[in-house]
């Protein structure tokens, strides 16, 4: 675990507002997670056509339930390579003062 410490803490290099979404923003996976959950519960009930209709309806409903992403204004900074430490933007003066202590 000591050798992987840097890669395990990459999570904290992002703005705090984005951390909520790091594991849940894959909209395709979110959609299919709901479908997988429902079809597992309904297994054996109905025909193949009934199951396909249910999957279609669940997919349409999941598509409408997309969440708005908080901290949208930080995306440009992340893309530009601005560094964050513990969810707070770090500029060069702040970074130098922390290194000195």
Residues 95 and 64 in one domain: no
> Which of 88, 90, 98 shows the shortest CA–CA distance to 15?
88
Residues 76 and 53 in one domain: no
CA angle in degrees (0–180, nearest 5) for 81-70-87: 45
Residues 96 and 85 in one domain: yes
Residues 63 and 83 in one domain: no
Euclidean distance between CA atoms 34 and 55, whole angstroms: 9
Residues 57 and 77 in one domain: no
Across the range 8-23, mean pLDDT stands at: 63
Range of the domain at 6: 1-23+69-101
* Predicted confidence (pLDDT) per residue in 24-58, tens digit: 555 556 666 767 777 766 666 677 788 778 777 77
Residues 37 and 48 in one domain: yes
Write down the pLDDT at residue 45. 67
């Amino acid at each position: 675990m000591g050798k992987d410490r840097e890669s395990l803490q990459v999570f904290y290099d992002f703005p705090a507002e984005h951390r909520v979404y790091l594991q849940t923003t894959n909209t395709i996976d979110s959609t299919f997670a709901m479908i997988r959950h429902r079809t597992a519960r309904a297994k054996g009930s109905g025909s193949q056509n009934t199951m396909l209709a249910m999957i279609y309806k669940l997919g349409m409903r999941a598509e409408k339930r997309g969440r708005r992403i908080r901290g949208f204004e930080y995306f440009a900074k992340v893309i530009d390579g601005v560094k964050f430490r513990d969810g707070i933007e770090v500029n060069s003066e702040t970074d130098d003062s922390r290194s000195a202590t």
